[in-house]
Amino acid sequence: MCGIIGYVGKDKCIPKIIHGLEALEYRGYDSAGISYFFKNKIKTIKAEGKIVNLKALLNFNEESYLGIGHTRWATHGKANKTNAHPHSVGKFTIVHNGIIENYSELKEKLIKEKYVFKSETDTEVACALFDFLYKKNKNILETLSEAIKILKGSYAFGIICNDDANTLYALRNTSPLIIATDETGNFIASDVPAILKFTNKYILLEDNEIAQITADKIVVYNNNLEIVKKNIKTFSESYEAATKNGYEHFMLKEINEQDKVYKNTIDYYFDGTIESLEKNFNFLNKFERIDIVACGSAYHTGLVGKCLIEKYANIPVNVEVASEYRYKNCFYNNKTLVILVSQSGETADTLAVLRKAKNDQIKTLAIVNVVGSSIAREADYVIYIKAGCEIAVATTKAYLAQLAIFSLITTYLGYKNGVIDSKELTTIFKDINLLPNLINKTIANYETYFKIADKIYKHKQIFFIGRGIDYAISMEASLKLKEISYINSVAYQAGELKHGTISLIDKNTPVIAIATDKYLLEKTISNIKEVKARGAFVILVSNTTFKDHFYDEFITIADVHPILQSIIIIIPLQLLAYKVAKNNGCNIDKPKNLAKSVTVE
């Protein structure tokens, strides 16, 4: 989603702001803009489309030492130059992430006060509100404090005012915002990668806090304008970790990191003994029912989690997408644990579910990648995956690390609940140790998947089928393919096809079938034969070998304990999706219309 960067200091601000915006490109955007003080006046330059368009309009040597920049992902109003940020009204110029929910009502009131609006955005309305309040109280901090009481919705603002050419102001509610310092000055940013080239030390602004930032001073106030003491945090990864490191795309780099990501995640919670699992996960024993709630790929890990926990731990699990769950009647009680899965920890719908559950006094567990993110901070329990900075919009390594966490949770609960005996536990532990090497070998086999991708990339639709956990993985494999290649793809429960969808299968329609669940294998094979008989081009992914040739292409994968199998299955399908997208010349790391962190509803 939108990105914010601001700088005030001894260095010229334009190069720093542009670097920050480029580092935030991965979040997704459709226009960009910058405002800065030049000879005590605010200058604003905006452009539709990519940051290169904006760069072409800028003088990087401009003597300016304070400015704000923004990449906009359109919500209110079209993606054009007028709606691009920054917006200026009266004395204020601002950039904004999030959504102002009461903007229509505020706009009507401000129009009555003779404000005229040029854009269709909620941001311009917020800017007019600041100006309106400031005209009355002539004090910027009081203006911002008063605005917090009026504005409804989610927001992170970077603010400058004509009357104070030395200060950058920031404000947040729900949408993330950090403040950082290097030896030359201070920054605001919506996300750590924006400032990582300059510093890895930062302060997290909390909801309803206001920051007043000059070249050599940062003061943070609460909503009553009392000074708040803030802790400085250190982001543990290097700038290199947020770069491509020789790979053609971030997605490819991140797929290749998955053996390490798996190991880091597992090693953090498991030292080879059941006692380590007991120490980290015993809080789970209190619950008799689990609701897993998330969006997109994180929802898909929930589907895998459900299959595993229900089968091996005998606990009922309900999985729902957050945008639905937040508005429905939830039949939870004090024996229910609501698990929120989120890479970013900032997804608006998932955060809303967390707050709803907390409000209903239901215990929550967050499985999150970004340390200190809103979901991580607000949940009762947190399990961090150790995926590191994920830049490609399409998640790969974070998804795999989430699967790793569900495999550990299931192993622990399954043993505790007597479904997994000591012998089976030993097998699982052995396979957990083998997995980094197996992940590595699966990735190393990429040429096999790439050759298959070369055969199918021109098709208009590609189907995925599977049963049980294989279906859960199909959902993710299908999403990966469609989001980066723009090829229509649907995942179906293999047994459900003949109730309608099979009519779409024509000669050579690619059908990717996943068949690893031994209990369901015969059934899945029958379904594969049904599509094959109708002319489908079948690509079979399996951990078993077959005498019969009921498929056209075969991807063989290592056979590991079913609790861990999904972690291996997804890898060839990530690489297949990658190659299909590459062959089609798609923008792999930044697919159209998508954003990395979906901080609006």
Per-residue exposure over 556-590, b if at least 16 CB sit within 10 Å of its own CB, e if not:
ebbbbbbbbbbbbbbbbbbbbbbbbbbeeebebbb
Contact 21, 97 (CB under 8 A): no
Is 295 labeled as catalytic in the residue annotation?
no
Nearest approach, Cβ of 342 to ligand F6R (angstroms)?
3
Q: What is the dihedral of CA 376, 379, 384, 390, to 10 degrees?
A: -40
Cβ of residue 322: shortest distance to ligand F6R, in angstroms?
A: 8
Query: How much of the chain is in helix, strand and coil states, percent to nearest 5?
Result: 40, 25, 35
Cβ pair 234, 200 in contact under 8 A: yes
Minimum Å distance from CB 160 to ligand F6R? Answer: 30
Task: Identify the active-site residue in 2, 13, 161, 295.
Answer: 2
Beta strands at 317-321 and 289-294: parallel, antiparallel or unpaired: parallel
Evaluate whether 586 touches 554 at the Cβ level (below 8 Å). Answer: no
Question: Which tokens in the block code for residue 163?
Answer: 């009357």
DSSP 54: H
- Report in angstroms how near the CB of residue 107 gets to ligand F6R at its nearest: 30
Q: Identify which of residues 194 and 394 has a Cβ nearer to ligand F6R in the complex.
A: 394
Q: β-pairing, 553-556 with 537-542?
A: parallel
Nearer to ligand F6R among residue 167 and residue 474 (C-beta): 474
Residue ranges that bind ligand F6R, judged by CB under 6 A: 295-298, 342-344, 347, 350, 394-395, 479, 483, 597-598
Query: Cβ closer to ligand F6R: 129 or 370?
Result: 370
Evaluate whether 556 touches 516 at the Cβ level (below 8 Å). Answer: no
Given the complex with ligand F6R, which of 375 and 438 has the nearer CB atom?
375
Please, which residue, 364 or 524, has the CB nearer to ligand F6R?
364
- Measured from the CB of residue 255, what is the shortest distance to ligand F6R in angstroms? 12
* Secondary structure of residue 114 in the 3-state scheme: coil
Locate all alpha helices (DSSP H) within 233-326, ordered by sequence: 250-256, 258-269, 274-281, 296-313, 322-325
Q: How many whole angstroms separate alpha carbon 122 and alpha carbon 75?
A: 9
> What is the helix (H) or strand (E) element at residue 563, kind and residue range?
helix 562-583
343 contacts: CB under 8 Å, gap ≥ 6: 297, 298, 368, 369, 370, 385, 387, 390, 395, 398, 399, 402
Taking CB atoms, the residue at the shortest distance from ligand F6R is 296
Give the nearest distance from C-beta 592 to ligand F6R in angstroms: 14
**How far apart are CB 350 and ligand F6R at their closest, in Å?**
5
Separation CA 102–CA 154 (nearest Å): 11
Distance, in Å, from the CA atom of 478 to the CA atom of 442, rounded to the nearest integer, reads 19
Structural contact between residues 601 and 155, judged by C-beta atoms closer than 8 angstroms: no
Known catalytic membership, residue 2: yes
Residue with smaller CB distance to ligand F6R, 344 or 542:
344
Here the tokens at position 339 are 């698990």
- Considering the complex, state which of residue 172 and residue 300 has its C-beta at the smaller distance from ligand F6R: 300
Q: Which of 107, 253, 480, 596 is catalytic?
A: 596
Give the residue with the Cβ less far from ligand F6R, 96 or 397. 397
Residue 295 CB contacts under 8 Å (≥ 6 apart), including other chains: 321, 322, 323, 342, 347, 349, 350, 598
Looking at residue 585, what DSSP letter applies?
Answer: T
Closest separation in Å from C-beta 74 to ligand F6R: 17
Beta bridge partners, 31, equal 48, 72
Single out the residue of 473, 467, 527, 475 nearest to residue 502, CA to CA.
527
Q: Which is nearer to ligand F6R, 180 or 398 (CB)?
A: 398
Minimum Å gap between C-beta 243 and ligand F6R is 20
Q: Which amino acid, 51?
A: I
Shortest separation between residue 270's beta carbon and ligand F6R, angstroms: 23
CA distance 158 to 35: 11
Report the C-alpha gap between 88 and 4 in whole angstroms.
Answer: 16
**Which residue type does 465 have?**
I
- C-beta of 146 vs 483, nearer to ligand F6R: 483
Catalytic residues, which ones? 2, 596
